[in-house]
């Protein structure tokens, strides 16, 4: 059942702004974004000319904090619990930690009746010991569910499983969480469902309102954590990303109109270095529309996939750094953006080496630090983006 179509505040605001903008042009210069493209190897001369110089070696967490922003990264138990040098660098650079996998259903729920918090607890304690914030990912998803899920969960017991999971997990970490990705990737217009909702057992069993239910249950157990709707595929000037932005805005407007306790949109931001269909103005308008709903914005899973770039690591690093700079210059211009997390910190530990490996089998180079934890130009690009960002 599709939720009701709303004449959203956004459309009314736009109508109003359209009237005012005539005056606006007279009263003050509008910020005009040049038609930038996320750097790609087709702009080699542009990438070779770009300047990524930053002053000093102040860690990213401190540069972000000086502007009222939070910087951190996804970390996982296998890497952080075994690699002392990495643990040290992570604590140095990151002001927030999100477990890459340890708070997902497939890790937390080895069986329908057992919760295993051991790895999540280790990461929570690591964050606390190193004066880092801690965020959870994710309470509700339609992918990578535990093996038993399909056999056990059905129309009759789905609500019980959803409510019990969210309640148990948020109560376990109450008081420790900066924020939770309550629902992850609930939109996919390609699936043909009403309102662009993604196929999901939760949608099948509970209908479109499973999303609102999830947020209400999470707020009941942890009234302090920021509750986030997390989504990917929102950044490019492509028909697919435009459709996703439209559907996400509609979902957020619907949730807000129902008084749902939702506080932020999480934008995953897995950038494809070879993608050039990037229109800063369109992305900036989307960010303003989200902010106009009274929501904050978190960049939750930033990295730059270099799978289709030339082999030369020097050129790759420049292109990756250019993509970081192009993207962050837009998202940090929106003061509702409160945090930037990269999906990993070092090329030694990235999902991309497994899920988006290169055909030439060269080591992938998507993250701010290389495999020996040394800063690359991508680190410079993120550092300079924080240095240039407006203070919150
Ligand atoms: O821990 C087991 C290991 O014991 C076993 O030997 C191995 C066999 O394959 O699997 C290991 O678990 C894997 C886990 O990553 C740790 O490496 C899971 O199979 C694998 O599915 C899991 O992939 C994660 C994926 O989400 C699915 O949960 C990636 O690491 C993680 O980076 C990725 O992150 C997602 C976000 O959650 C949502 N947004 C997109 C993002 C990238 O896909």
301 lines ligand 1 (CB under 6 A): yes
Residue 323 binned pLDDT confidence (cut-offs 50, 70, 90): very high
User: Best mutation site among 229, 351, 366 for ligand 1, i.e. most ligand atoms within 8 A of its Cβ?
Assistant: 351
Instruction: Report whether pLDDT(20) > 50.
Output: no
The pair of three-digit structure tokens given for residue 316, joined into one six-digit string = 């790759």
Per-residue pLDDT at 332: 98
Per-residue pLDDT at 198: 98
Q: What average pLDDT does the segment 333-350 reach?
A: 98
Per-residue pLDDT at 49: 81
Q: What average pLDDT does the segment 101-119 reach?
A: 98
Instruction: Report whether pLDDT(128) > 90.
Output: yes
144 lines ligand 1 (CB under 6 A): yes
Residue 196 is given by DSSP the state: G
Instruction: Report whether pLDDT(24) > 60.
Output: no
The pair of three-digit structure tokens given for residue 185, joined into one six-digit string = 């990737």
Domains of the chain: 59-388 (3.20.20.80)
Ligand 1 centroid to residue 284 C-alpha, Å: 31
Query: Phi-psi bin for 207: left (phi > 0), alpha (psi -120 to 50), beta?
Result: left
Per-residue pLDDT at 31: 53
User: Catalytic site residue 100?
Assistant: no
307 burial class (0-12, 13-18, 19+ CB within 10 angstroms)?
middle
Half-sphere exposure for 27 (CA within 13 Å, toward CB):
5
Residue 147 binned pLDDT confidence (cut-offs 50, 70, 90): very high
Give per-residue pLDDT as tens, 263-274. Answer: 999 999 999 999
Half-sphere exposure for 384 (CA within 13 Å, toward CB):
21
- For the chain, give the mean pLDDT: 92
Q: What average pLDDT does the segment 60-79 reach?
A: 98
Q: What average pLDDT does the segment 359-383 reach?
A: 97
Per-residue pLDDT at 202: 98
Instruction: Report whether pLDDT(161) > 60.
Output: yes
> Do the Cβ atoms of 33 and 280 come closer than 8 Å?
yes
Q: What average pLDDT does the segment 202-215 reach?
A: 98
User: Best mutation site among 73, 74, 78, 101 for ligand 1, i.e. most ligand atoms within 8 A of its Cβ?
Assistant: 101
Residue 18 binned pLDDT confidence (cut-offs 50, 70, 90): very low
Per-residue pLDDT at 19: 39
DSSP H or E segment with residue 96: strand 96-99
Residue 195 neighbours by CB under 8 Å, 6+ apart: 2, 3, 208, 247, 250, 251, 254
Q: What 3-state class would DSSP assign to 76?
A: coil
Residue 48 binned pLDDT confidence (cut-offs 50, 70, 90): confident
């Amino acid at each position: 059942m599709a939720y009701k179509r709303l004449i959203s505040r956004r459309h009314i605001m736009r109508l109003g702004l359209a009237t005012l903008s005539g005056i606006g042009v007279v009263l003050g210069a509008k910020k005009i974004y040049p038609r930038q493209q996320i750097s790609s190897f087709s702009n080699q001369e542009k990438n070779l000319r770009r300047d990524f110089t930053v002053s000093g070696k102040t860690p990213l967490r401190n540069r972000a904090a000086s502007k009222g922003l939070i910087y951190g990264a996804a970390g996982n138990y296998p890497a952080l619990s075994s690699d002392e040098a990495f643990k040290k660098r992570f604590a140095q650079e990151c002001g927030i930690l999100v477990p890459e996998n340890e708070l997902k259903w497939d890790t937390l729920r080895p069986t329908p009746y057992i919760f295993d918090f051991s790895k999540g607890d280790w990461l929570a304690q690591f964050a606390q010991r190193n004066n880092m914030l801690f965020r959870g990912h994710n309470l509700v998803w339609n992918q990578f569910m535990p093996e038993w899920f399909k056999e056990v969960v059905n129309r009759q017991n789905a609500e019980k499983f959803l409510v019990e999971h969210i309640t148990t997990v948020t109560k376990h970490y109450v008081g420790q969480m900066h924020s939770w990705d309550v629902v992850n990737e609930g939109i996919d217009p390609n699936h043909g469902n009403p309102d662009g909702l993604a196929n999901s057992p939760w949608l099948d069993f509970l209908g479109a309102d499973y999303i609102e239910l999830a947020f209400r249950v999470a707020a009941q157990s942890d009234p302090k954590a920021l509750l986030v709707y997390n989504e990917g595929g929102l950044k490019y000037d492509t028909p697919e990303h435009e459709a996703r932005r439209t559907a996400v805005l509609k979902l957020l407007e619907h949730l807000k109109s129902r008084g749902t306790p939702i506080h932020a949109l999480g934008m995953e931001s897995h950038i494809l270095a070879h993608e050039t269909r990037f229109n800063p103005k369109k992305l900036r308008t989307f960010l303003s529309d989200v902010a106009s709903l009274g929501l904050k914005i978190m960049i939750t899973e930033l990295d730059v996939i270099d799978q289709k770039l030339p082999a030369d690591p020097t050129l790759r690093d420049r292109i990756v750094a250019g993509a970081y700079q192009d993207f962050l210059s837009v998202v940090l211009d929106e003061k509702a953006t409160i945090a930037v997390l990269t999906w990993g910190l070092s090329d030694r530990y990235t999902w991309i080496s497994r899920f988006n490996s290169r055909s030439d089998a060269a080591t992938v180079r998507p993250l701010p630090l290389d495999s020996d934890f040394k800063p690359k130009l991508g680190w410079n690009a993120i550092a300079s983006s924080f240095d240039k960002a407006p203070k919150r």
